[in-house]
């Protein structure tokens, strides 16, 4: 197996939610000589410096400082979050027979059906009492063993289930976690569980953000193992490709031969709910980081960052849809991205994507130089598609760029499918510097 592919599978398994995806990226970057910067620190940067900023434990921005601020930024963006189920506060609900289920709230737009009858567990972050009320501590939690399931109703109680069965997020989708000896054990059940798992006192737990995840590991399948099956392929496949490409671009680059442009990897949170948070693409966080980088060059003035942005290019990397073998008519009649046919550039007449003919041309040339086939995605005209990071970012930063991604099936399913080949070709083209 190609090392990038086995590494992607381990990355997906280690990253069952936004917080853990960012932690996985942080560890990988640290291993390659990147060190953390806080927005609260004074920044002293030099060309070649490898640094990263984490926001809210759920977004991460890594960069390699270029030798010339006016060479601009080469930015790859992707997102850390995926649709799913968040545990509500006071989640414990005791049912007949002292079966304990948990109250949840849907995050983003998951395909609800795909979450039934799977071994699930819990992951996320827990906030503990700190030195002062304004400085609580954060601990990450990933319970590795199966703990829950969302049981489907037997077909004998609903013979028409296969003819379409509307689901209530509040009634139908609640996971069970225990058969209690006494109903009274439900009180404080979640906090006690979290305290045991982290080895902390119940009284130190102030709050948590926990979500469900499928404990079945990511895998390859197909007669030639050409497919990848996992949760969160949208968009952790692109986050992983961006990180792998960034690291690969550093090979042999020490001190003297630093690239003139600053390479930036921006992994935002909350794309699935519209990006409108302090760690999302609609926030000023990326712009603030670009300003701070520019301000660190000797002799930089107010214009430096604006001139740098004018020379910049962004690849907004978020997976797209491949033509589906059972629903070919859903796809545009003349543009048919195939699984395994290479990354797609996404184009929309109503500007839901930032791609235009000019930026698509730049991207096609980059792919050509990298020897990578590129496909084109447009929506079937009767089916409005989703939006993504690119255009949201341009409301904060005056950037040129494209929206692209690997083609995949079953976007927002608990298990999505993509092709090994598209992951590898995406790594090949990100952060390659086209010849002038």
Q: Is residue 235 a contact residue for Zn ion (CB under 5 A)?
A: yes
- Closest separation in Å from C-beta 399 to Zn ion: 19
3-state secondary structure of 319: coil
Q: Which CB sits closer to Zn ion, 37 or 389?
A: 389
Sequential DSSP letters for 22-39: HHHHHHHHHHTT-EE--T
3-state secondary structure of 225: coil
Asked if the bond preceding 235 is cis, omega within 30° of 0, the reply is yes
Q: Which CB sits closer to Zn ion, 49 or 235?
A: 235
With beta carbons less than 8 A apart as the criterion, state whether 116 and 151 touch.
yes
Choose which of 23, 92, 244, 318 interacts with Zn ion (CB under 5 A). 318
Of 40-48, 51-59, 168-176, 314-322, the window that binds Zn ion (rule: CB under 5 A) is 314-322
Q: Which CB sits closer to Zn ion, 108 or 222?
A: 108
In whole angstroms, give the CA distance from residue 54 to residue 285.
10
- Closest separation in Å from C-beta 228 to Zn ion: 16
Of 39-47, 83-91, 114-122, 310-318, the window that binds Zn ion (rule: CB under 5 A) is 310-318
Site string for Zn ion, 39-78 (x = CB under 5 A): ----------------------------------------
Q: Which CB sits closer to Zn ion, 290 or 404?
A: 404
Q: Which CB sits closer to Zn ion, 234 or 244?
A: 234
Q: Which CB sits closer to Zn ion, 15 or 262?
A: 15
In whole angstroms, give the CA distance from residue 155 to residue 4.
42
- Closest separation in Å from C-beta 414 to Zn ion: 15
The sheet with strand 219-221 has its strands ordered as: 219-221, 227-230, 416-419, 407-409, 320-321
**∠ at Cα 21 (19, 22), nearest 5°?**
65
- Closest separation in Å from C-beta 371 to Zn ion: 26
Of 144-152, 316-324, 354-362, 425-433, the window that binds Zn ion (rule: CB under 5 A) is 316-324
- Closest separation in Å from C-beta 320 to Zn ion: 9
The sheet with strand 84-94 has its strands ordered as: 137-142, 120-128, 205-214, 84-94, 99-107, 176-179
In whole angstroms, give the CA distance from residue 305 to residue 336.
40
In whole angstroms, give the CA distance from residue 243 to residue 77.
10
Q: Which CB sits closer to Zn ion, 49 or 234?
A: 234
Choose which of 234, 244, 291, 422 interacts with Zn ion (CB under 5 A). 234
- Closest separation in Å from C-beta 78 to Zn ion: 8
Q: Which CB sits closer to Zn ion, 244 or 318?
A: 318
Of 189-197, 230-238, 305-313, 345-353, the window that binds Zn ion (rule: CB under 5 A) is 230-238
- Write the burial class of residue 117 (CB in 10 Å: 0-12 exposed, 13-18 middle, 19+ buried): exposed
In whole angstroms, give the CA distance from residue 122 to residue 136.
22
Contacts of 89 (CB under 8 A, 6+ apart): none
**What residues does 116 pair with on adjacent strands?**
none
Q: Is residue 416 a contact residue for Zn ion (CB under 5 A)?
A: no
- Closest separation in Å from C-beta 86 to Zn ion: 18
3-state secondary structure of 285: helix
Q: Which two tokens stand for residue 189?
A: 């059940």
Count of residues engaged in binding Zn ion, rule: CB under 5 A: 3
Distances (CA, A) of 353 to 218, 283, 388: 30, 18, 7
List binders of Zn ion among 350-369 (CB under 5 A). none
Q: Which two tokens stand for residue 78?
A: 């992707």
Q: Is residue 403 a contact residue for Zn ion (CB under 5 A)?
A: no
Of 133-141, 204-212, 317-325, 333-341, the window that binds Zn ion (rule: CB under 5 A) is 317-325
Nearest to 408 by CA among 375, 364, 359, 368: 375
Of 106-114, 313-321, 365-373, 414-422, the window that binds Zn ion (rule: CB under 5 A) is 313-321
Bridging pattern class, strands 407-409 and 416-419: antiparallel
With beta carbons less than 8 A apart as the criterion, state whether 220 and 9 touch.
yes
- Closest separation in Å from C-beta 108 to Zn ion: 9
Q: Which CB sits closer to Zn ion, 209 or 235?
A: 235
Interacting residues toward Zn ion by CB under 5 A:
234-235, 318
């Amino acid at each position: 197996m190609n090392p990038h592919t086995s590494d992607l599978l381990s990355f997906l398994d280690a990253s069952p939610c936004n917080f853990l995806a960012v932690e996985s990226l942080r560890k990988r970057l640290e291993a390659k000589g990147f060190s953390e910067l806080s927005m609260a620190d004074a920044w002293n940067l030099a060309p070649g410096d490898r640094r990263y900023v984490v926001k809210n434990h759920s977004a991460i921005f890594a960069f390699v400082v270029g030798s010339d601020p006016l060479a601009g930024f080469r930015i790859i963006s992707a997102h850390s979050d995926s649709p799913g189920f968040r545990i509500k506060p006071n989640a414990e609900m005791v049912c007949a027979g002292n079966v304990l289920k948990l109250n949840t709230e849907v995050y983003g737009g998951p395909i609800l059906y795909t979450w039934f009858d799977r071994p699930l567990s819990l992951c996320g972050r827990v906030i503990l009492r700190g030195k002062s009320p304004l400085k609580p501590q954060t601990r990450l939690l990933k319970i590795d063993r199966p703990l829950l399931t969302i049981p489907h109703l037997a077909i004998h109680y609903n013979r028409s289930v296969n003819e379409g069965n509307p689901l209530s997020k509040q009634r139908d989708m609640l996971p069970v976690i225990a058969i209690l000896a006494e109903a009274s054990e439900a009180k404080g059940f979640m906090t006690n569980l979290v305290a045991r798992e982290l080895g902390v006192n119940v009284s130190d737990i102030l709050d948590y953000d926990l979500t469900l995840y499928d404990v079945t590991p990511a895998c390859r399948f197909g007669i030639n193992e050409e497919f990848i099956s996992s949760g969160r392929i949208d968009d952790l496949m692109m986050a992983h490709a961006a990180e792998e490409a960034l690291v690969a671009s550093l090979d042999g680059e020490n001190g003297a031969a630093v690239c003139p442009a600053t390479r930036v990897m921006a992994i935002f949170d909350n794309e699935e709910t519209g990006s409108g948070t302090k760690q999302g693409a609609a926030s000023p966080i990326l712009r603030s980081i670009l300003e701070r980088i520019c301000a660190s060059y000797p002799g930089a003035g107010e214009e430096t960052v604006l001139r740098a942005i004018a020379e910049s290019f962004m690849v907004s990397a978020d997976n797209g849809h491949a033509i589906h073998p059972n629903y070919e008519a859903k796809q545009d009649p003349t543009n048919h991205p195939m699984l395994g046919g290479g990354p797609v550039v996404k184009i929309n007449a109503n500007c839901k994507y930032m791609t235009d003919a000019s930026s698509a041309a730049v991207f096609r040339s980059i792919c050509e130089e990298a020897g990578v086939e590129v496909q084109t995605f447009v929506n079937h005209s009767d089916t409005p598609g989703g939006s993504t990071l690119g255009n949201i970012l341009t409301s904060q930063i005056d950037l040129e760029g494209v929206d692209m991604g690997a083609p995949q099936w079953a976007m927002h399913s608990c298990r999505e499918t993509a092709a090994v080949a598209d992951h590898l070709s995406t790594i090949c083209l990100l952060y390659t510097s086209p010849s002038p």
